[in-house]
Amino acid sequence: MLDQHVNTIPRIEQTGKNRLCSERSYLCDSIGTIIKTLNNATRMTDQIEFEFFPQMRFLIYGEPGMSLPPHIDLTRTNSEGLVSTHTFILYLDDCNQGGETALLESLSSTSDSSNVLVNPKRGRLLLFPHFCPHEGKETIAYPKILLRGEAYYSGFK
């Protein structure tokens, strides 16, 4: 289902220093189809539940050498005033070489000292707090395509 949207929504190319980053396409899950799937995937108990925001974006790393330097994600506020606490990444393609998401100990550390290195694998969902430093490793095999967005978790401190 999501594969169809990647190719129909216009892409915004990055320019300047962001040129080696991804192309982006923005979508709003106004009817909640994607949100329902994400809720089903993350529901651990009746007491632990994330609230996924409907504004999402596809990130397309369409050529070798594309990467994203170490950073932390900013919060977003939904239409009801709820401020996000977490980032989600849903990988839509396998990247057999390169393109990993490295969760770092700090912004000054490198992926060589990362706590976790997540390989892009179709259907894999990565969910982490906004303040967790991370980077997108250089793509070797491509394309690397993912859906990225924000979520709120009420039990997060």
In a domain, 126, yes or no: yes
Q: What is the DSSP string of 87-142?
A: EEEEE-S--SSB-PEEEPSSTTS-GGG-SEEEPP-TT-EEEEETTS-EEEPPBSS-
- What's the pLDDT tens digit per position in 10-29? 566 655 555 557 788 889 99
Torsion angle, CA of 22/27/28/32, rounded to 10 degrees? -90
Calpha distance 16→83 (Å, rounded):
30
Calpha distance 92→20 (Å, rounded):
20
Domain count, the chain: 1
Calpha distance 145→4 (Å, rounded):
12
In a domain, 17, yes or no: no
In a domain, 41, yes or no: yes
CATH code, domain with 81: 2.60.120.620
| The two three-digit tokens of residue 25, written as one number | 């396409």
| The two three-digit tokens of residue 81, written as one number | 């005033």
In a domain, 99, yes or no: yes
- What's the pLDDT tens digit per position in 50-60? 899 999 999 98
In a domain, 109, yes or no: yes
In a domain, 16, yes or no: no
User: Among candidates 83, 92, 78, which has minimal Cα distance to 30?
Assistant: 78
Beta bridge partners of 152: 51
In a domain, 84, yes or no: yes
CA angle 88, 94, 97 (to 5 degrees): 110
Instruction: Give pLDDT, residue 55.
Output: 95
This prediction has a pTM of: 0.86
| Phi, psi dihedrals of residue 37, rounded to the nearest 5° | -65, -45
Instruction: Give pLDDT, residue 91.
Output: 95
In a domain, 146, yes or no: yes
Confidence check: pLDDT of 132 > 90? yes
Range of the domain at 125: 2-11+22-153
